[in-house]
């Protein structure tokens, strides 16, 4: 897990989110609200596909506008099987970690690559990247 994940405020523009991703060297950011709670995740791909490719202005579209309706997350006490289950079932590559209703980190594919054996990592990749 990457502890202390930095959020983008839900009212920030996608242009601001993109600059923050660039500056942090990441491809996604949690979206947090004024209540200091997790409201979603935005990826660089979301910005490219759901904003730029649709002809929208990234200076006018906010992170909240692209926040997913259903947020998938895992409790900080979850074991690796539960983490893998959530990521595989929902075919997601980043999973927020919540403790006491607050974001405490993000688990990414890179974290799994560093911590899973080769066989289990291959299973994960097959399930997450499977096409319907």
What are the boundaries of each domain within the chain? 2-128
- Reported as a single tens digit per residue, the pLDDT across 20-64 is 999 999 888 999 988 878 899 999 999 999 999 999 999 999 999
Q: Is the pLDDT of residue 4 over 80?
A: no
Whole-model pTM? Answer: 0.82
Rounded to an integer, what distance in angstroms lies between the CA atom of residue 71 and that of residue 119?
A: 28
- Reported as a single tens digit per residue, the pLDDT across 76-124 is 999 999 999 999 999 999 999 999 888 999 998 889 989 899 999 999 9
Residue 132 banded pLDDT, cuts 50, 70, 90: low
Q: Are residues 11 and 21 in contact, defined by beta-carbon separation less than 8 angstroms?
A: no
Topology at the third CATH level for domain 2-128: CBS-domain (3.10.580)
**What is the edge-to-edge ordering of all strands in the sheet holding 38-43?**
8-9, 28-32, 38-43
DSSP symbols for 55-86: T--TTTSBHHHH--SS---EETT--HHHHHHH
Q: What is the largest CA-CA distance in the chain?
A: 45
- 3-state secondary structure at position 33: coil
Residue 57: CB atoms within 10 Å: 11
Q: Are residues 118 and 107 in contact, defined by beta-carbon separation less than 8 angstroms?
A: no
pLDDT of residue 9: 95
């Amino acid at each position: 897990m990457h502890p202390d994940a930095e959020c983008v405020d839900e009212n920030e523009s996608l242009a601001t989110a993109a600059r923050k991703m660039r500056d942090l060297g990441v491809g996604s950011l949690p979206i947090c609200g004024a209540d200091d709670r997790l409201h979603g995740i935005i990826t660089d791909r979301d910005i490219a596909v759901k904003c730029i490719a649709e002809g929208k202005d990234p200076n006018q579209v906010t992170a909240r506008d692209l926040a997913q309706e259903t947020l998938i997350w895992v409790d900080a006490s979850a074991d690796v099987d539960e983490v893998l289950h959530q990521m595989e079932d929902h075919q997601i590559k980043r999973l927020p970690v919540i403790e006491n209703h607050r974001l405490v980190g993000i688990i990414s594919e890179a974290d799994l690559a560093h911590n899973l054996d080769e066989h289990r990592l291959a299973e994960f990749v097959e399930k997450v990247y499977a096409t319907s």
